Structures are given as structure tokens and as C-alpha cells.
Amino acid sequence: MPYRNPVIPGYYPDPSVCRVGQDYYLATSSFEYFPGVPLFHSRDLVDWALIGYCLTRPEQVPLAGCRSSGGIFAPTLRYHNGRFYMVTTNVTGGGHFFVHAEDPAGPWSDPIWVDTGMRGIDPDLFWDDDGTCYFTSTSTLGIATCPLDVATGKPLAEPRQQWTGTGGQHPEAPHLYKIRGRYYLQLAEGGTERGHMVTIARGDTPFGPWESCPHNPILSHRSTNRPIQSTGHADMIEAHDGSWWMVFLGTRPHGLYPTFHNLGRETNLAPVRWTEDGWPVVGDGGQVDVVNDLPAFATATPTRWDQVVEDAFDGPSLPLYWNYLRNPDLTRYSLSERPGYLRLKGIAVNLGALDSPTWVGRRQQHHEMTATTRLHFEPQVDGEEAGLSALMNETHRIEIAVTREAGARVAIVRRTIGSISLVVARHVLPATGPVELCIQAVTPRVEGARPGWGAEPIYALSVAVAGQAPVRLATSEMRYLGTEVAGGFTGVYLGMYATGNGQACVTPADFEWFRYEPAGVSS
């Protein structure tokens, strides 16, 4: 039976994996979003369930004023002597730190800060057979390693420069392993874009000297037309049956030329085999297909991420896949004040601020999908606004919203591209009653078009009131919410929000339900 990459679709980059018996755990970056560092569980390396987050308290992950794609960078997840460790970097403030937990679902400890005296990212923890813990990261020396006291986070010696890679730009994402008695140092090179690649070297000590793999890079899709691009930032693991696997990030560009991607960097899986002389071979000679054979111990083809998901907001808390921007004031969000609804209380801050607006979002995980919500909102003051957004960052986003203008309730579509932010459509609404807002990601079909020469992928935004057909208000080219235009390391979120646009809202916004439907799937 096959599985399909990505195994975790949508913006889940920089994966790191560890194993406890026959259970597998995986963590990814989170940047400016809260809670921080999503944590997944699997029994087969293919079907991953989100079970929690490593950073759930503001004191663990201070994000005030965090720029987009700042905050929490790449983690490494490890298990040692009955305890899980997650080490990462808050580039907005504090630098390297790690947290630990006996139960991966939490709670996780307060941060233990690691100061090597050198700035860097992408920290790694490795325990040798004698119990020594080694800390490796990028640094002012390049890739550097030092022994670490995990009780205090204090380096036990000065960091020493390690292998610098094969000459690709930005050597990063170091992981140190001991495999069959030898030490391996794995890196990512080429930058986390189209030139991304994974390289590896080996030596007889944790500090080398390092012998570069003769068939480096061991993974790269650079200069190919494969549907998954930018492959890199990987972590390897031996499965409980003795097979070897690699998790890595990759992107899925849209076929339109020039290509772009808007789902972010996603988590993929590849088989690894070892040569007789002790070097890893990833996938098919360093390249990985979308469709691959399942691990021998997998029991079914996963479909977890390809289902219609509808949130009725009738539970005590939101499902785990909902995130906030930076550190939220949770008093502005309620599932109990109006049972069966998510109530949002807007403040002066809107989605254009480097702040924590009243917004809650989930990742877009499919190129084509439909997101719809039913909103009860009858604004009493001009400028009060609540609606549905597709957001890459504060300067690249679209919103379809209900607001009040000159005393009338209207639906609007706003498009923000860089420094230009305009309302591009208006539609008068009845003074009262619920409104359904919809954002659809779609690539219009052009009969006979060559791949890459079809129509522009778009977001289509529509509104519906009771008893009437939906009205499409506007479309927006998807590429303007793509990384190649917007920049950064994240992907598009679909979220509900409320704002007073300069003043606190008098009227709360009540969302009755939210529905996410991948194209081609029906409930």
C-alpha cells in the first residue's frame, strides 16, 4: 500500500522526530504563532495526530512585538532516560533554550536557557553512550558543538567548530547521531528555498575529523521539476523494525509559471537505506516521490488530513489545530458566554499590526479547498468589523467581513498587498440575521492548456444570507499570498477575527460554526 507526501500538509516546517518503543513523536517550528512547537504522535511514521504543543504558556514563549517569521525557529525533539527534550531558539528574545516533559502531551517545563556566547539557530541535542550531552547549532563559528549540563543549560566547554558542509550557502539544521559505532553530522545547505539540500559527514568522535559523504547531497530536488521542491532540513530515525526513515521539509509549488507556493513548508517522509560502506541513501538516489510504499509496520493508508472538518464550537475548548497570533489575551475569546458559539471581542488592533489581534486561525493544507463560517454580528458603531481572513502575514492577506458603514451593515472584501490595502468590494446586507462568509482556493480549469500555462490560481470570496444564494464579491490572485511575494517561513492561515479598527468593539462577534473542505471531498 502507498502513502502520499506530505505526511503532514500545510505549514509544518523543520520537522524533528524521536522514537519511544513503537511510538513516534514529531515537532515542527511555529514562528509567531501560539501555542508554540506543535507536537505529533504516530505509530507508523505516516499517520500523524496532533497531540499538543511544547510551548503553551506565555512565559515559555514570549512573542510580544514578534515580527512575522520571527519567534520560534527550528526545534530538535529527543528522548533520553524517560524524559522528552525539545530544544529551539526564540530569535525575538532570549535565544536558545530547551524544555522537558515526562509526558509528550505536556505539561512541559519552563525554559532552560543555553548561552554559548555565540548567536545562532537550529540547536540539536545528542546523548553519547557515556551519558554526555552535546549541544550543536549554527553560530558565529559556523556549525559548532559543545558538551552541555542539561540540569542547568550551561556549556561544559567552549564550542568547537564542526564540519562546514559541501560549500552550499547557509549550512544549518545540524543533527549529530551515533550509528553503528560511528558519529554522523547531518546538515541542510543551500538555503530553505529551491537550492535546499541535505548533506552528511562522519567521523570517529563527536568533533570529527569529518569525512564528507561521497554522494552528497543525500537529498535535494534542486533543478528538477518534481512536485515537491525545496527539500531539506531533515532528521533521520531508525524504526522499531530496523528500517531507517527521514523526515524533511518541502514545498508544493503551484504549476503556473513562474511557480509559487502558499501552503508553507510541509513535513514529508522518505525511506533510507545504507550502503555497504556505511552511507545513507535517501529515497531514489537522493530524490523522493509523492507516492511511496508504506513502512512494513503500517496497517492502513492515512486520510487524516483529507477530511471535511466542521467545528461546531460546542465543546469546552477549541481543537488543537487552532492557533493565535503572538501571545493572545484569552479573555477576548469565549466558548461559554453564548453556548454553541465562538465569541470574539474585537479591540483596536487589526490584522495589520505586529500585535495580537482578536484572531484565531487554522492552516490551509490543500491547494484547493473551501473555508466557510456562519457569523452573527450586528455592529452598532461604524468601523466595527468581524469576518474571515486568508493570512500569510500582516502585509499580505485578504478578508471578507461584516462591518458598519454610514449606519448600514455591509459585507466587504479587503485586499492587502504590501503597503497597499484597499476595500475592493461592498455588498449591502440586511440589518439583522446571520451571514455566511466563504473563502475558496481554486485553480480555474482551462481546456487544452499546457501544464503551467493555465489560469491563475485564485481565492474567491463570497457572502450568503438566509434564503439567498451566495454572492461572489471578489477574487484575489493566490500568488500575492505566496512566499515568493510575501516572504517569510510560514504559510497561509484561514481565520476568524474581530476588530474595532482603532477602537474597542462594542458588539461581540459570534461564530456559529467553521467548515474546512478540501476539494473533491464531501461530508
SS (H, E, C) 93-144: CCEEEEEEECCCCCCCCCCEECCCCCCCCCCEEEECCCCCEEEEEEECCEEE
Q: What is the pLDDT of residue 303?
A: 85
For residue 221, CA distances in Å to 196, 226, 249 come to: 8, 7, 11
Annotated catalytic residue within 44, 122, 172, 399: 172
Kindly provide the b/e burial profile for residues 487-502, where b requires at least 16 CB atoms within 10 angstroms of the residue's own CB. ebbbbbbbbbbbbbbe
Provide the grid cell at 231. 527539500
Which SS3 state, helix, strand or coil, does residue 210 take? coil
Ordered per-residue pLDDT tens for the chain, 523 residues: 799 999 999 999 999 999 999 999 999 999 999 999 999 999 999 999 999 999 999 999 999 999 999 999 999 999 999 999 999 999 998 999 999 999 999 999 999 999 999 899 999 999 999 999 999 999 999 999 999 999 999 999 999 999 999 999 999 999 999 999 999 999 999 999 999 999 999 999 999 999 999 999 999 999 999 999 999 999 999 999 999 999 999 999 998 778 999 999 999 999 999 999 999 999 999 999 999 999 999 988 888 999 999 999 999 999 999 999 999 999 999 999 999 999 999 999 999 999 999 999 999 999 999 999 999 999 999 999 999 999 999 999 999 999 999 999 999 999 999 999 999 999 999 999 999 999 999 998 777 666 555 688 999 999 999 888 999 999 999 999 999 999 999 999 999 999 999 999 999 999 999 999 999 765 4
Amino acid letter, 457: P
Q: What is the largest CA-CA distance in the chain?
A: 76
Question: Is 0.85 topped by the overall pTM?
Answer: yes
At 199, list the grid cell. 548533506
Strand partners, 177: 184
**Which long-range contacts does 335-340 make (Cβ < 8 Å, 24+ apart)?**
337/508, 338/510, 339/314, 340/312, 340/313, 340/314, 340/512
Cell numbers at residue 183, please? Answer: 558519529
Is there a contact between 319 and 307 (Cβ–Cβ < 8 Å)?
no
CA-wise closest residue to 379 among 469, 258, 509: 509
Distance between CA atoms of residues 359 and 337, nearest Å: 17
CB 511 within 8 A of CB 341: yes
For 237, the 3-state DSSP assignment is strand
pLDDT in the model for residue 255: 81
Residue 110 appears among annotated catalytic residues: no
Cβ neighbours for 412, distance < 8 A, ≥ 6 positions apart? 385, 399, 400, 401, 403, 423, 425, 426, 427, 473
| Amino acid identity at 353 | A
Quick one: pLDDT at residue 523? 47
Phi-psi region of 463 (alpha: psi -120 to 50; beta: other; left: phi over 0): beta
The pLDDT assigned to 522 comes to 54
Rounded to the nearest angstrom, the gap between the alpha carbon of residue 517 and the centroid of all alpha carbons in its chain is: 19
pLDDT at 178: 98
DSSP bridge partners of 267: 8, 249
Instruction: Let me know the angle formed at the C-alpha of 195 by 194 and 196, rounded to the nearest 5 degrees.
Output: 95
Q: What are the angstrom distances between the C-alpha of 342 and each of 321, 330, 507, 508, 512?
A: 15, 12, 14, 10, 7
Asked if 517 is an active-site residue, the reply is no
117's torsion region: left (phi>0), alpha (psi -120 to 50) or beta? left
Q: Are 364 and 494 in contact (CB under 8 A)?
A: yes
